[in-house]
Amino acid sequence: MTQRAVDAIFQAMFLLTDLRVLMRETAPLHDLDEEQRAKASKALEKLKKQINTLEQELSR
Amino acid sequence: MKCTADIEARDLEEMNINIDPIQAGGRLTADAMKAIIAWGDGYSVCDNCRKPFRLDYIEKPAINVFHDDLAAFVGMDEARVVPGARRGFQAVAGTYVQKGDPVMLTGLSHYTEFLAVENTGGVPLEIPKDEKNIIRAGAAAEKLEEAVRTFGRPPVLLFIDHVDYQYGNLHEVKEIARVAHQYDVPVLLNGAYTVGILPVDGKALGVDFVVGSGHKSMAAPAPSGVLATTAERADEVFRTTTIKGDVTGRTFGLKEVEMMGCTLMGVTLMGMMASFPHVQERVNHWEEHLANGTLFVNALAAIEGTEIRSEMPRRHTLTRVDTTASFDRVAETHKKRGFFLSSALKKKGIVGVIPGATKVWKFNTYGLSRAQVEYLAAAYLEIAEENELSVSS
């Protein structure tokens, strides 16, 4: 149970790190190309799942 | 934005293109950032440290394998991680240099090489650079002869920078190593600007030691670096302790004297390890980074009065440029004086050039994407034109 929450925290931070690097790769204008937008969108989707897991694990 | 009550979050890389000459190769990979999140505690790598209690023997995480891989990566037999290239210099100097010993450096050596010599009481002798700011084997041979005449013996060690920090020029390393070995002088290659960004093969270059910087060129946190050597020299520089306490009789097993026991504990090492697969891969793309750098160099050279002070054509992305007759001419009458350039760049999201510098300055485009370099080049040309400097096509 607790492991699931901790894993979700790490996973969320790792996904945010990928987004952070995307910001670096596209600085200073952050005009994302199609591939980068798809990558960002996928990371955000996964991030939402990790947040859901955290809500489930930590709110009971 | 703040990350604690008193510490700002550093978003320089997220918000800007950073062309600081010493920071380019040290920017972290995503994997290094993830390792930092997970391994930030002080002794985090020590959970599975077992007898004989030495960093390079730890199997989980596979720090032992990483050491072997590091040695192979720079074409040497043995490697250790060190807290920065300077500590690699210090370890080698500490092994070979005694007080009063002559030590060969160059007219472009980094100050930390001098400090490593000073720390041992050695006497620095500089191989002069030529008019193109290159260290040549001929000059090294002359200086070695001069050292023998002055001291009655050859120097005990020779430091040569693969690429120097001032011009980013490549020097005659292989030829210099050959000359030095004729006098039985061991050679240390300072690869702070090359190991981790372009292929480096220490044995092919004929050197005895290769030192690299994690935070300059291996996408690792500071302070980190590598010291690698040949099997012949490994027993000397990585010698183990023989000291014994006179009261307790204690001895300290396999601890290495020059490494002061363990070196990179925790997050620096894990960041370095996490980036390493990317670093191994990225050196194969050096030509692309060099081409990007050349694109920017050519753009600068197109601005009236601008002179490239580094060797041309460029063989490294760290470059020294003289804008005394271009941007500094604008600074003479501009209301912001010398700060007009850094201010205009900042507005375009470009940082890394010393604020107020409009005469001679350095930059490094390593690691930037093609799109970022094109943006950078266009920004400089735009600033030049806005300030009525002519730009050739």
State the ipTM, two decimals: 0.97
Q: Is the peptide bond before B199 cis (omega within 30 degrees of 0)?
A: no
Q: Do B349 and A10 touch (CB under 8 A)?
A: no
Residues of B in contact with A13 (CB under 8 A): 34, 37
pLDDT in tens, B328-344: 999 999 999 999 999 99
Cα–Cα distance, B44 to B36 (Å, whole number): 11
Q: What is the largest CA-CA distance in chain A?
A: 42
The Cα of A16 is separated from the nearest Cα of chain B by a number of Å equal to 10
Pairing of the two strands B318-322 and B350-351: unpaired
In 3D space, the residue among B273, B359, B22, B281 whose CA is nearest the CA of residue B163 turns out to be: B22
- Given this model, what pLDDT does residue B325 score? 97
Interface residues of A toward B, Cβ cutoff 8 Å, are 10, 13-14, 17-18, 20-21, 23-25, 27-29
Q: Do B33 and A25 touch (CB under 8 A)?
A: no
Residue A18: band (very low, low, confident or very high) from pLDDT cuts 50, 70, 90 = very high
Adjacent-strand bridge partners of B123:
B102
Q: Do A21 and B29 touch (CB under 8 A)?
A: yes
Q: Under 8 Å CB-to-CB from A37, ≥6 apart: which residues?
A: none
Task: Count chain A–chain B contacts defined by CB atoms under 8 A.
Answer: 38
Q: HSE on the CB side for B188, CA within 13 Å?
A: 34
In 3D space, the residue among B179, B115, B112, B191 whose CA is nearest the CA of residue B147 turns out to be: B179
pLDDT, mean of residues A14-39: 98
Rounded to two decimals, what is the model's pTM?
Answer: 0.97
What are the DSSP calls for B324-342, one per residue?
A: TTTHHHHHHH-TTTTHHHH
Q: State which residue of chain B sits closest to A17, comparing Cα positions.
A: B30
The Cα of A17 is separated from the nearest Cα of chain B by a number of Å equal to 6
Q: Do B30 and A17 touch (CB under 8 A)?
A: yes
Q: Do B350 and A21 touch (CB under 8 A)?
A: no
Residue A1: band (very low, low, confident or very high) from pLDDT cuts 50, 70, 90 = low
Cα–Cα distance, B11 to B14 (Å, whole number): 5
Residue with tokens 């990007």: B292
In 3D space, the residue among B20, A15, B285, A40 whose CA is nearest the CA of residue A31 turns out to be: A40
Residues of A in contact with B16 (CB under 8 A): 27-28
Residue B287 has pLDDT above 80, yes or no: yes
Running DSSP on this structure, what letter comes out for residue A28?
A: T
Q: Is B157 helix (H, G, I), strand (E, B) or coil?
A: strand
The Cα of B220 is separated from the nearest Cα of chain A by a number of Å equal to 15
Q: Is the peptide bond before B21 cis (omega within 30 degrees of 0)?
A: no
Residue with tokens 């999201």: B349
Torsions phi, psi of B17, nearest 5?
-95, 120
Whether the CB-CB separation of B116 and B156 falls below 8 Å is answered with no
Whether the CB-CB separation of B19 and B364 falls below 8 Å is answered with yes
Q: Is B54 helix (H, G, I), strand (E, B) or coil?
A: coil
Average pLDDT, chain B: 97
Q: Do B34 and A14 touch (CB under 8 A)?
A: yes
Q: Which two tokens stand for residue B366?
A: 């390593």
pLDDT in tens, B193-218: 999 999 999 999 999 999 999 999 99
- Given this model, what pLDDT does residue B107 score? 98
Q: Under 8 Å CB-to-CB from B176, ≥6 apart: which residues?
A: B127, B135, B137, B140, B158, B160, B187
